[in-house]
Structure 1
Amino acid sequence: MIEGIWVDEAVTELRPDFRVLVVGAYGLRGGPSDDRSRAWLAEAAAEAVPPSHEHIAAWHDAYRAFGAKPQRTRPSVDALVRRMPPPEINLVVDAYNAVSVRHVLPIGGEDLAHYEGTARLVRASGDEPFDAMEKGEVVVDHPEIGEVVWRDDRGVTCRRWNWRQCVRTRITEDTTDALFLLERLAPMPLEALRAAGDELVERLREITPEVRVESRLAGA
């Protein structure tokens, strides 16, 4: 299911060093946050780096490359390390947020039951729909022309590379099949990216021992 996921050349021209570790997890049995996930978040908070860390600085540079202002719309890992301890969402989201903080890289999570077609990272044309939550209500927004976005056949699933996820594909307590996108820029070594993926899989297997997992590296 993850084989067709791709990164457009227009994105790799911005950052030839970009790689994404794609992880598919099937048969999850999630649920609300519990003592396990609270412990994961607490451990991550104890090891959190400052927002000036070089991995976060690399994402600031990547955002500026397509015209975004990272101090206004922050890369997801930057926003997370500024909220210590990380917020409790649910078991699966807590797991990947903890890994994101510990390894200092953005991680996106998508519910495959609500996905349409193949995930791809592209530069937006500006007319793609993006459903967001505003003041407790779902509204349809659109990315800026040239903005780096994850999308499927229906619309944008995450704006500004990893800034804000849509409502439609977010992971809930009822998610059973999920897609995780672990995003890397230099100077983060590829070995560190793979280590983050291994830790995420370990956490998912703590949640659901029989979960089926597949992964692959994508990018330039």
Structure 2
Amino acid sequence: MQDIPIIDPAVIRLAPDFRALHLFVSTPDAPAIANPSSALVEACQFVRDGGPPWVEAHLAAWADTYAQFGAKPNRTPCSAQALRKRVLKDGVLPSINPVVDLYNAISLRYAVPVGGENLGAYVGVPRLTIADGSEAFDTMSNGEPAIEHPLPGEVVWRDDVGVTCRRWNWRQGTRTRLNGNERSMWFVLEALAGMPNEALQEAGHALSSGLTSILPSASVTTIKSA
């Protein structure tokens, strides 16, 4: 059984209604290179048509929560809001690879932050916690590898080495991101007030079904936390 990611009690005190759905994927095969996903194209159209009925309430809850730990949601929004803004501005999202296209499509269709991580690059159990500001965050700056540090009090995902995603789900680090060749992956769908539990479960099922379609030999384990 895969270890359940750890949610710091301090994060729950910040957002008592936080719920996370984790999908752990193990596969012997890399996904085939494919044309831009129809799921992503359809999800972009769904956003342009208005999106799910809970979209405004859910994204507002994320903005309020970001403000509580000192982030500026208009400048650094949650990942679901950032994707939605790009689609409403540009009409589409560019294709990256089949797996990333799929979880971006799920995020857009359900107005929920979705992260995809290379579990093989993790050291220790993933955990959602409050940063003290000393943690290392691997990123890129001006096309070159760089190390940043979160602000003290910032909500981050991390492992034993350092931060893997800043400001809860705003920016993913380079060390653990998916590049299309992973055999062990972890996906997390993160919900707050405004998103029905049934919708979160439906989003998780859609992601699981999509992953087994892309990777027929994959084994998917779904776990709920918080």
Q: 1:140 to 1:208 in 2, by over 3 A?
A: same
Question: Aligned ranges for residues 22-171 of structure 1 at < 5 Å?
Answer: 22-27=22-27, 28-32=29-33, 34-35=34-35, 37-48=36-47, 49=50, 53-84=56-87, 85-171=92-178
Deviation at 1:88, TM superposition (A): 1.3
Deviation at 1:126, TM superposition (A): 0.6
Contact 2:23 2:220 (8 Å CA) reproduced: yes
**Which residue pairs with 1:20 in the alignment?**
20
Percent identical? 46
**Which residue pairs with 1:207 in the alignment?**
214
Deviation at 1:207, TM superposition (A): 0.5
- Unpaired segments of 5 or more residues in structure 1? none
Q: How far, CA to CA, are the matches of 2:32 and 2:83 in structure 1?
A: 21
Q: How far, CA to CA, are the matches of 2:62 and 2:134 in structure 1?
A: 25
Contact 1:31 1:90 (8 Å CA) reproduced: no
Deviation at 1:113, TM superposition (A): 1.4
Q: How far, CA to CA, are the matches of 2:8 and 2:2 in structure 1?
A: 16
- Unpaired segments of 5 or more residues in structure 2? none
4+ runs deviating over 3 angstroms: none
- Aligned amino acid, residue 17 of structure 1: D
Q: How far, CA to CA, are the matches of 1:2 and 1:185 in structure 2?
A: 24
Contact 1:149 1:160 (8 Å CA) reproduced: yes
Contact 1:130 1:155 (8 Å CA) reproduced: yes
1:89-138 per-position Cα deviation (integer Å, ceiling 9, x unaligned): 11110010000000100001100111110001000011000011112111
Secondary structure of the residue aligned to 1:132 is: strand
**Which residue pairs with 2:4 in the alignment?**
4
- Aligned amino acid, residue 198 of structure 1: H
Q: What is the root-mean-square deviation of aligned Cα atoms in Å? A: 1.3
Count how many residue pairs are aligned between Structure 1 and Structure 2.
216
Q: TM-score, normalised by structure 1?
A: 0.94
Q: How far, CA to CA, are the matches of 1:217 and 1:6 in structure 2?
A: 11
